[in-house]
Amino acid sequence: MRLDSVIFGGGAAGLWLLDRLSRDGHHVVLLESGALGAGQTIASQGIIHGGMKYSLSGLLTRSAISIREMPAVWRDALLGHATPNLTRTRLRSDCCYLWQTDSFSSRVGMLGARIGLQVKSESIENNERPAALADVFGTVAKLPEQVICPASFMADLANQYRDRILKIDAKSGLKFKLGSPGEVESIRLTSPVDGSKLELQPRQVIFTAGAGNAKLREMVGLSGAVMQRRSLHMVLARGALPVLNGHCVDGAKTRVTITSDVDDEGRTVYQIGGQLAEDGVKLEPLALAERARAELADVLPNLDLADVEWSTYRVDRAEGATGNGSRPDTIQVLCAGNVTTGWPTKLVLAPILSQEIASRASSPYVSAEFDSTPLASWPRPEVASLPWEESDRVWWALPEASFAPVRRAA
């Protein structure tokens, strides 16, 4: 089957790019070995950042510059005013809140967060505060940073392009035929369901598989050492909690970033990231849950945590390597032969990565309409479960009188 492009990786970057290339007239398919969004996308908090966390020092950093236009891009797509059409993506919140503690560094960070942004914060009156922030110190600001459900976002795009998305067995059902390192002549697939064969002959091969990019590059004769991983240890809390989406700033850091959703039993679930998740990489799950409870008690006065249950999960942020292992300022794209490798670094930057890769692609060379008939019987990947919906997840109750967890099934 002749194609213009084959994309590996069905996360935010791969699916956004699939939409872009398809709309540009390319004959393109996307290959996914696991569940759509598994890894970084489904584990993300879903915040469409406007650069606040990168400007806490009061300086407009390169990271803040690259990201500050993104809320408008996503907002247009979510409204159906631009492509991709994301009108079926569930919006958790239309905004985030920004608050501080009574420390001097927190007040300085609050000032820095409001300088130089395309997305401007707006101070709100006390009676406009969400319930969770009713008693916090100082100013509470409102940021027009929307929060989406990553699983809904994956399902939205996948449903639009189901005929072009295939599930593959990357371990034993994938072989590349190379003309030379980085020059792919064909891709041979074996169905993980019935053993049927499929050969794809693309002009361009694109890796947007996050952490999987390293292995894929090695399979086509390229170095996998061009990638780095930076780890997070995220916290989940569930119970009768007030809905909250926002950031507590402390100096040049976001002390905690909290997003919320509701589970199948009607409980509010907090995803808690920020500096807590970065520092938590060195902690065991129970110790991190204890730390998170103490942090919430400090940054959200009068929040009732008595009956809250806790869990944690680890996720690696896969990125193009930097000299010192620090966070890249923006997207990374590498080209070798007819292979392109891309990392968006953050969910919100998927549109920029898509634009960059699409701008480098040759014009479509298959003139006929895209015919998905040869793909009709091929298995399709499911959308990954949100972290708190995983069936094997363990939750802890943390009674004040004991540090021993009460283990409960999900």
Identify the band that residue 111 occupies on the pLDDT scale cut at 50, 70 and 90: low
Q: Do the Cβ atoms of 249 and 96 come closer than 8 Å?
A: no
Q: What local confidence, expressed as pLDDT, does residue 108 receive?
A: 52
Least confident of 41-55, 108-122, 153-167, 247-261: 108-122
Least confident of 59-63, 228-232, 247-251: 59-63
CA gap 359, 183 in Å, rounded: 20
Position 410 pLDDT exceeds 70: no
Angle between helices 350-360 and 70-79 (to 10 degrees): 90
Structure tokens at 218: 């090695």
Q: What local confidence, expressed as pLDDT, does residue 322 receive?
A: 87
Q: What local confidence, expressed as pLDDT, does residue 169 receive?
A: 96
Q: What local confidence, expressed as pLDDT, does residue 68 receive?
A: 80
Q: Output the average pLDDT for the chain.
A: 89
Q: What local confidence, expressed as pLDDT, does residue 192 receive?
A: 93
Q: What local confidence, expressed as pLDDT, does residue 362 receive?
A: 82
Least confident of 31-35, 85-89, 247-251, 379-383: 247-251
Which candidate, 338, 381, 390, 397, places its Cα nearest to that of 200?
338
CA gap 227, 334 in Å, rounded: 11
Position 60 pLDDT exceeds 50: no
Q: What local confidence, expressed as pLDDT, does residue 57 receive?
A: 45
Least confident of 71-75, 139-143, 404-408: 404-408
CA gap 157, 73 in Å, rounded: 16
Q: Give residue-wise pLDDT tens across range 32-52.
A: 999 999 999 999 999 999 866
Structure tokens at 91: 């919006």
Q: Which of the two residues, 106 and 15, has the higher pLDDT score?
A: 15
User: For 88-93, what is the mean pLDDT?
Assistant: 98
Position 232 pLDDT exceeds 70: yes
Q: Give residue-wise pLDDT tens across range 317-355.
A: 999 998 887 888 889 999 999 999 999 989 999 999 999
Identify the band that residue 65 occupies on the pLDDT scale cut at 50, 70 and 90: low
User: For 83-109, what is the mean pLDDT?
Assistant: 83
Q: Which residues contact 288 (CB under 8 A, 6 or more apart)?
A: 233, 235, 276, 280, 312
Position 292 pLDDT exceeds 90: yes
Q: Do the Cβ atoms of 268 and 262 come closer than 8 Å?
A: yes
User: For 310-319, what is the mean pLDDT?
Assistant: 96
Identify the band that residue 252 occupies on the pLDDT scale cut at 50, 70 and 90: confident
Q: What local confidence, expressed as pLDDT, does residue 52 receive?
A: 62
Q: What local confidence, expressed as pLDDT, does residue 401 receive?
A: 40
User: For 40-69, what is the mean pLDDT?
Assistant: 71
Q: What local confidence, expressed as pLDDT, does residue 404 receive?
A: 42
CA gap 408, 310 in Å, rounded: 10
Which candidate, 357, 406, 378, places its Cα nearest to that of 29?
378
User: For 271-287, what is the mean pLDDT?
Assistant: 97
User: For 79-90, what is the mean pLDDT?
Assistant: 97
H or E stretch covering 93: strand 91-93
Q: Do the Cβ atoms of 209 and 8 come closer than 8 Å?
A: yes
Identify the band that residue 59 occupies on the pLDDT scale cut at 50, 70 and 90: very low
